[in-house]
Amino acid sequence: MEHLVDRFLRYTQIHTTSQPGSETYPSSDRQLVFARQLADELESLGLDEVDVDKFGYVTASLPSNLNYEVPVVGFIAHMDTSPDYSGENVKARIIKNYTGDDVFLDPDGKMMLTPKDFPELLKYVGQDLIVTDGTTLLGADDKAGIAEIITAMAWLKKHPEIKHGTVKICFTPDEEIGKGTDHFDVKKFGADFAYTMDGSEVGELEYENFNAAAAKIVIKGRSVHPGSAKNAMINSMLVGNQLINLLPANQRPEHTEKYEGFFHLTMFEGNVSETTLQYIIRDHDFMKFDAKKKMLNEICSLLNLQYGSGTVSLEMFDQYYNMRQQVEPVRYIIDIAENAMRQVGIEPIIRAIRGGTDGAQLSYKGLPCPNIFTGGHNFHGPFEFIPVQSMEKAVTVILKIVELVGQRKK
């Protein structure tokens, strides 16, 4: 564990924000810089088959030290940070022995991390918190996952008395913009199953996520001088507003939680003549997910009946699906993670992800891949923090998983 924090702090200083709308892969060259640095570090630790491919995926292998065959387990984390907030010039600091008081992030006291706003802070009284300076995100999502995986691999290299099978690791680009697995070669990776280290608080174990679709709606209006607009004008913005109000208001993100799905309006832009709306549609239950898509399609058809054919056009496509139906047939990989946590004194918190994960895409590509905690909180913004002790617990879980997989003879 001695290098865990130093490793993480070093990673946070490397600017790796992904770039939405980019036509390159990865979306930003800075991710390639980080990828090559990680590859150099993995080689210096003595891992095998270290590689950075043309898409920026960093892969490496820790060979088995057993004389019998066991499943090959993988661990995956992503290199990019979210474009939702600046990830450049990160200046992290450690608050030793946190007392439960308000934390002034910046010298002027304008940015405060407080238990009033973030009551989960009180779980970590007496621990060491890594925080931002209030001007950037921290990058624990997911550089903490990378630091934890590499620290675990370094420990295993130094302690050959710990028996284990082959372990594969991969660090991916562009997870934050939904492209983390676009070029992931499951066969080349060579694992039977894997875990993404990309969750939040200690104990999180996730193998359910949303089914997801995106929709783009273009409304063609009829612009007429307002002085003579009676029975002639069709204001596309008002048609768009009518569409919004025809969708159930209680199925918006701000009114939903747990297993409740939603319609989320992400963009509304237009004028009298033309308006564009963009929605994302989410639900854990596939039948409810399908019903939501049908509802939106029927509303658009209804508006075309009211205002004329071609007034409203809808483009809708599925983005990803709930990994549960891919993971449940190999339930033993969840059992391994649960047992690993309990054996190191952590009570698993099994919950559904209200979002997506690289693991969902990978599960449908043939690599079952639940998600495990890293220890961080408040991702994607200046109030992000991570307790050192939580990162250490994540490392112990990785090590215990490797040990338990090494006991499963094929």
The DSSP secondary structure of 345-378, one letter per residue, reads T---EE---SS--HHHHHHHTT----EEE---BS
Q: Which residues make beta-bridge pairs with 112?
A: 104
Q: Which of 41, 80, 148, 206 is catalytic?
A: 80
Instruction: State how far the Cα of 180 lies from the Cα of 356, in Å rounded to an integer.
Output: 11
Percentages (nearest 5) of helix, strand, coil residues in the chain: 35, 25, 40
- 116 φ, ψ (degrees, to nearest 5): -65, -45
In terms of phi and psi (left: phi > 0; alpha: psi -120 to 50; beta: otherwise), the region of 107 is: alpha
Instruction: State how far the Cα of 109 lies from the Cα of 309, in Å rounded to an integer.
Output: 57
Instruction: State how far the Cα of 311 lies from the Cα of 178, in Å rounded to an integer.
Output: 31
Q: Is 284 helix (H, G, I), strand (E, B) or coil?
A: coil
Q: Would you call 175 a catalytic residue per the annotation?
A: yes
Q: Which of 41, 141, 175, 283 is catalytic?
A: 175
- N- to C-terminal Cα separation, the chain: 32
Name the residues annotated as catalytic. Answer: 80, 175
